[in-house]
Structure 1
Amino acid sequence: MRLTIFRERMAEHFGAAYADSFSRDHVMSQLGGRTVNEALEAGWEVKDVWRAVCAAMDVPAERR
């Protein structure tokens, strides 16, 4: 998954403004106590970060 697709999916699910805030501020245990942005900066695969967001935030299957 490309980062641009990931960002589009985040915006579709959360709305553009909240997706940005969520990525910056929401610490997730599924990402080892990191935010989305921190996990991506640490080298996590984009698809793994998306899967963690989907699992934690109950993203519907049709949006995964």
Structure 2
Amino acid sequence: MRLTEFWRRMDEHFGSAYAQSFARDHVMSELGGRTVHQALEAGWEAKDVWRMVCQVVGVPARLR
């Protein structure tokens, strides 16, 4: 998954303003105690980060 697709999905689920806030502020144990931004900067694949976000916040199947 490309980063552009990752961010499109984040925006679609959370709304563009909250997607960035969530990605910057929400620390997830599923990402090794990192935020979305930190995980991506640490080299996590966007598809794996998206899977973890889906798991944590219950993203509907149609948006996964």
- Residue matched to 2:55: 55
- 1:31 deviates by 0.3
Q: Which has the bigger relative contact order, CA under 8 A and spacing at least 6?
A: 2
1:31 maps to 31
TM-score (normalised: structure 2): 0.99
Q: Deviations over 1:17-61 (max 9, x none)?
A: 000000000000110000000000000011000000000000001
CA distance in 2, matches of 1:58, 1:13: 10
Using the alignment, how far apart are the partners of 1:9 and 1:37 within structure 2? 15
Over aligned residue pairs, what C-alpha RMSD do you find?
A: 0.3
Gapped runs of 5+ residues in structure 1?
A: none
TM-score scaled by length of structure 1: 0.99
What residue is the counterpart of 1:16 in the other structure?
16
Aligned structure 1 segments of 4 or more residues deviating by more than 3 angstroms: none
